[in-house]
Structure 1
Amino acid sequence: MVPEPTFESYYGRPILKEPTWKTPDVPIYLWIGGVAGGSALLAEGAALSGLPGLERVTRLTAAGGAVVGTVALVHDLGRPERFLNMLRVFKPTSPLSVGSYILAPFSSFAGAAAASHVTGVAPRLGRLAGLGAAVFGPPLATYTAALFANTAIPVWHEAHRELPFVFGGSAAAAAGGTAMLLAPVAETGPAVRMAAVGAVAELGVSHRMEQRLGMLAEPYGKGLAGRLMRLSRALTVAGLGLSAVSAGASGRGRPWARRLAGASYSAGSLALRFAVFEAGRESARDPKYVVVPQRERIRAREEAARSAASETGSGTLSG
């Protein structure tokens, strides 16, 4: 009998090439895109609710996040013209191409809305621009999850069902937390609710994702990625607790708790993005995260084929 082969590769070398994206450029881009996208959505809610202080902060956060995110992306690409080249062709099957066509209009709309709000020039056009930014905000916050899942990196590719929801919840927590930190305390009610809903969604879906991934969830629990993931969850839970402490009198009695909760939410979201990025790098280094799932899929297909053949044979005999 031939022994069962192990999951080692030739000379112990990785089977997959480790992602060449730069650190911290890409994790920061993931986080700042979530903050900007969520802030644009929150800004429209503030405008409709008549909360000028919250609207001002979120408009500026969305515009500033778009600028910082674009700079981080261009720096990772190496040359500015590479980003412009991505806008020459729209390729629906490429998350990177789609993402370029999300980031470009979002940046324009968010910048125009913030400029109009600060200067008071063309307020109607500013509101229309803000609405456009709000439309592109959720896709901006989540398309990076599709970009990661479209790679061959095991813990990203196999998490394609949950990762967009994890990033979406994290973006809501980060945007709400940033507004809680910077906006007038009396106007932060919508931000508190947005951050809490996002935090609960992020914690719940990420837990479900790790349960479904099974062995592939190991990189999220060890090494640098594991430390970052535990830090992220601790900060997010702390944000929920501090939000509850500051709930009395709309946070007026305990403004420090609301500010600290906002900082915890935002920092937890940032740590999550770094954790996901580092877990992907770790899964690319170890051959077992590539080979073992492949064998399980092959075994499942073989069992399904044998089952189908058995059913076909039984049907022929009975006929």
Structure 2
Amino acid sequence: MVPEAEFRSYHGQPILKRPVWHEPHMPLYLYLGGVSGASSTLAAAARATGRHRLALATRIIAALSGAAGSALLVAELGRPERFLNMLRVIKPTSPMSLGSWILALQGGLTAAAAGSAVTGLLPAAGDLAGAAAAVTGPLMATYTAVLVSDTAIPAWHEARRELPFLFAGSALAGAGALAMLTVPRPEAGPARAIATAGAAIELAAEHAITHRLGIVAEPYTTGSAGRLLRAARLLAAAGGALAPLAGRHRVLTAASALALTAGAICTRFAVLRAGRASAADPRYTVVPQRKRIYGTLEMP
């Protein structure tokens, strides 16, 4: 009898190269980029509906979070010129190339919109920049999901349908949370609404990932990634439940905003660690391949 094959790598080498992204640089960049994108969209909606305090706050949040995220990305790359080199060409088939241009456009537009709002100079140009940032904002909030899922890392690639919704929901929750903290409670109604909606989308996407992917979902439910994702789930649920009540008292506002922020950050760390775990274990590469080829986990 031929013994049952074990999921071992060739000469002790892994099948896939583990992601080399570092913590906390990349998870925080993913979080801050999402917040910048969602905040710029919320700012444009607030400006269009005459909510000037909310528009001002979210323009500033979009610019500052985008700048901080860019700094973390440059630190991850090691040298600033590496990011500039990515802007030398546009490659429509490359998520990295398009993402670099989205990040550059988002940073410039949000800085112009926030600068105009703070100084009062060139208001028409500031409004135009803010409207353009509302277009790049959703792309900024979700392009990183496409970037990580367009790889051979099993936990990321198999979740390619859900990750954009997970990142979008997390971005909305994070942006709404920061707006709730910086805008007077009577004027923060839209922020509370998008925070609640974002938390619901985030929870639905997490549930879909952990229940649709089969064996590849294990890295999301075990180890440090599993603990972080469970924490993110509890924090998003608590923050989303408190958000509609946050207009009644500042303590509820702070509790909801902090829970949503912590949950969004935990989600990004969990996704990164799940990807690393799935790349390190050959089972998550071999078993899905067998199933796709033979329609079963066993070879004929």
The DSSP-based 3-state class of the residue aligned with 1:17 is: coil
Task: Say if 2:196 and 2:241, in contact at 8 Å, map to a contact too.
Answer: no
Match of 1:269 in 2: 264
1:229 aligns with 2:229: yes
Alignment partners' CA distance in 2, 1:128 and 1:294: 49
Moved more, 47-56 or 282-291: 47-56
Q: CA RMSD in A?
A: 1.7
Alignment partners' CA distance in 1, 2:192 and 2:89: 40
1:259 equivalent among 241, 247, 254 = 254
Cα deviations by residue, 1:140-199 (Å, 9 ceiling, x for unpaired): 010000100111110001111111111111111111111112211111100111111111
How far did residue 259 of structure 1 move?
2.4
Task: Say if 1:28 and 1:270, in contact at 8 Å, map to a contact too.
Answer: yes
1:290 aligns with 2:292: no
Normalising by the residue count of structure 1, what TM-score does the alignment of the two structures yield?
0.90
Match of 1:309 in 2: none
Match of 1:40 in 2: 40
Alignment partners' CA distance in 1, 2:93 and 2:240: 38
How far did residue 22 of structure 1 move?
1.6
Normalising by the residue count of structure 2, what TM-score does the alignment of the two structures yield?
0.96
How far did residue 287 of structure 1 move?
1.2
The DSSP-based 3-state class of the residue aligned with 2:92 is: coil
Alignment partners' CA distance in 2, 1:261 and 1:181: 9
Task: Say if 2:99 and 2:144, in contact at 8 Å, map to a contact too.
Answer: yes
Moved more, 6-15 or 129-138: 6-15
The DSSP-based 3-state class of the residue aligned with 2:15 is: coil
Cα deviations by residue, 1:196-246 (Å, 9 ceiling, x for unpaired): 111111111221122110111111111111111011011101102212433
How far did residue 3 of structure 1 move?
3.6
Alignment partners' CA distance in 1, 2:83 and 2:224: 31
Amino acid at match of 1:27: P
How far did residue 124 of structure 1 move?
0.5
Amino acid at match of 2:272: F
Task: Say if 2:35 and 2:175, in contact at 8 Å, map to a contact too.
Answer: yes
The DSSP-based 3-state class of the residue aligned with 2:213 is: helix
Alignment partners' CA distance in 2, 1:273 and 1:254: 29
Match of 1:281 in 2: 276
Alignment partners' CA distance in 2, 1:112 and 1:118: 10
Cα deviations by residue, 1:78-128 (Å, 9 ceiling, x for unpaired): 111111110011111111100011011111110000000000000000000
Task: Say if 2:149 and 2:157, in contact at 8 Å, map to a contact too.
Answer: yes
Q: Unmatched 5+ residue regions in structure 1?
A: 307-319
Match of 2:16 in 1: 16
Amino acid at match of 1:290: T
Moved more, 96-105 or 202-211: 202-211
How far did residue 291 of structure 1 move?
1.1
Who wins on radius of gyration, i.e. which is larger? 1
**Count of residue correspondences:** 299
Task: Say if 1:181 and 1:260, in contact at 8 Å, map to a contact too.
Answer: no
The DSSP-based 3-state class of the residue aligned with 1:101 is: helix
Alignment partners' CA distance in 2, 1:245 and 1:116: 33
Amino acid at match of 2:112: A
Match of 2:84 in 1: 84
Match of 2:202 in 1: 202
Paired-residue identity, %: 53
Moved more, 21-30 or 255-264: 255-264
Amino acid at match of 1:98: L
Alignment partners' CA distance in 1, 2:250 and 2:263: 20
Match of 1:53 in 2: 53
How far did residue 14 of structure 1 move?
2.2
Task: Say if 1:40 and 1:133, in contact at 8 Å, map to a contact too.
Answer: yes
Aligned ranges for residues 25-174 of structure 1 at < 5 Å? 25-174=25-174
Q: Unmatched 5+ residue regions in structure 2?
A: none
Alignment partners' CA distance in 2, 1:195 and 1:138: 15
